Amino acid sequence: MRLLVTGGAGFIGSNFVHYLYKERPDWHITVLDKLTYAGDEKNLAGLDASRFKFIKGDICDEATVDKAIASCEAVVHFAAETHVDNSLHGPDPFVYTNVVGTYQILEAVRKYDKRLHHVSTDEVYGDLQPGSPEKFSEETPYNPSSPYSATKAASDLLVRAWIRSYNIKATISNCSNNYGPYQHVEKFIPRAITNVLEGQKPKLYGKGANIRDWIYTQDHSSAVLMILEKGKIGETYMIGANGEKTNQEVLEMILELMGKPKDWYEHVADRPGHDLRYAIDATKIRSELGWTPTYTDFKRGLSETIEWYKNNREWWQPQKAATEEKYKKLGR
């Protein structure tokens, strides 16, 4: 198999590439990545050139995408602008990368008749009420809240239309919040951990009652590989590991694991339009494909993640000051 991975130098993409490199030793992996502030070629260090190739390029560029897709057998599409707070204050690159970029991928996949797996998020469904028994499923109507989730929703709908109108061989997955190594320090869990490591109090948006459904990134990787190999063409699969927690609970657990008092944090201004709760019903992928997550103990995943950030200061420190400066201007 010659697989193209877009966005493979980012958080989930690089974890997926490392997972695949180990799990499928006879596959050749090519990463296409623009290396925005969120991508780092160092995330892919140690991979042998006989099995791995890196292309620096933009998925919005038709010629680049055409050439990369012509020479692979299948594509897993992770590349995106991904941070909700950034999208609220500068939606431009979200529209280009998430919508136009996905369109370029679809056109090349259609031209060369290649298999595509499109990676998306549960945020396309909007939010749920805390305390309700409801969860997102493959049938939940789209109702995005932020420029980020609206552009991801647009990309999903393009994929659905290309499946229906052009019979492209594509699948879609909508996963919940990932955590683990190589996640940018702008995101909640790494921001909180690295704040503590720098002697700064972590920040909790609003009351901290918003709920996210956490999954360890390696479990997302195993689900994507399973869909790529066994998924039914044209189908959408929800990915989640029953990891619902309030932001306050997550923060208190990080503080406890890092030896700080559980109230050692600051409340800051809330995110505009802040989604209240996400929760995934992953029955379809579990029952039809037989997928199960490995990391069912959130505390274990979180302590491994904390260890990784403790041991890889040189990876995150260069981005930390600029990220906090950006947050300071937003009052968060």
| Spatial CB neighbours of 318, under 8 Å, sequence gap ≥ 6 | none
- Residue 146 in contact with residue 85, Cβ under 8 Å? no
What does 204 bind: ligand TDX, ligand NAD, none (CB cut-off 5 to 8 Å by kind)? ligand TDX
Residue of 98, 155, 194, 210 interacting with ligand TDX (CB under 6 A): 210
- Stretch near ligand TDX under the rule CB under 6 A, chosen from 129-137, 205-213, 279-287, 290-298: 205-213
- Which residue's CB is nearer to ligand TDX, number 273 or number 318? 273
What minimum distance in Å lies between the beta carbon of 64 and ligand NAD? 9
Contact mark string toward ligand TDX, 6..25, x via CB under 6 A: --------------------
Residue from 158, 204, 238, 254 touching ligand TDX (CB under 6 A): that is: 204
- Asked about 219 being catalytic, the answer comes back as no
SS3 268: strand
Q: Is 148 a catalytic residue?
A: yes
- Closest C-alpha among 279, 217, 210 to residue 244: 279
Q: Which two tokens stand for residue 75?
A: 């594509």
- The contact pattern for ligand TDX, residues 69-108, with x = CB under 6 A and - = no contact, is -------------xxx------------------------
Please give the residue ranges that form the binding site for ligand NAD (CB under 6 A). Answer: 6-7, 9-13, 33-36, 38-39, 58-60, 78-82, 97, 101, 119, 121, 152, 175, 177-178, 184
* Six token digits for residue 1: 């198999």
Options 21, 142, 205, 308; binder of ligand TDX; rule CB under 6 A: 205
Measure the CA–CA gap between 4 and 68, rounded to whole angstroms: 7
Which listed residue (148, 182, 216, 265) is catalytic?
148
CA–CA gap between residue 199 and residue 273 (Å, rounded): 30
123 is a catalytic site residue: yes
Tell me which of 247, 254, 280, 306 binds ligand TDX, using CB under 6 A: 247
> How far apart are CB 259 and ligand NAD at their closest, in Å?
27
Annotate 25-76 with three-state secondary structure: CCCEEEEEECCCCCCCHHHHCCCCCCCEEEEECCCCCHHHHHHHHHCCCEEE
CB of 184 to ligand NAD, least distance (A): 5
191 lies in the site for ligand TDX, by CB under 6 A? yes
Count of other CB atoms within 10 angstroms of residue 239:
28
Q: Which residues of 32-43 are buried (b: 16+ CB within 10 A; e: fewer)?
A: bbbebebbbeeb
Number of helices (H), then strands (E), belonging to the chain: the values are: 12, 13
Q: Which of 176, 9, 141, 153 is nearest to 87 (CA)?
A: 153
Phi, psi of 261 (to 5 degrees): -60, 145
Q: Which of 81, 85, 122, 213 is catalytic?
A: 122
Residues that are catalytic: 122-123, 148
- Binding residues (CB under 6 A) for ligand TDX: these are 82-84, 121, 123, 177, 187-188, 191, 203-205, 210, 212, 247, 271
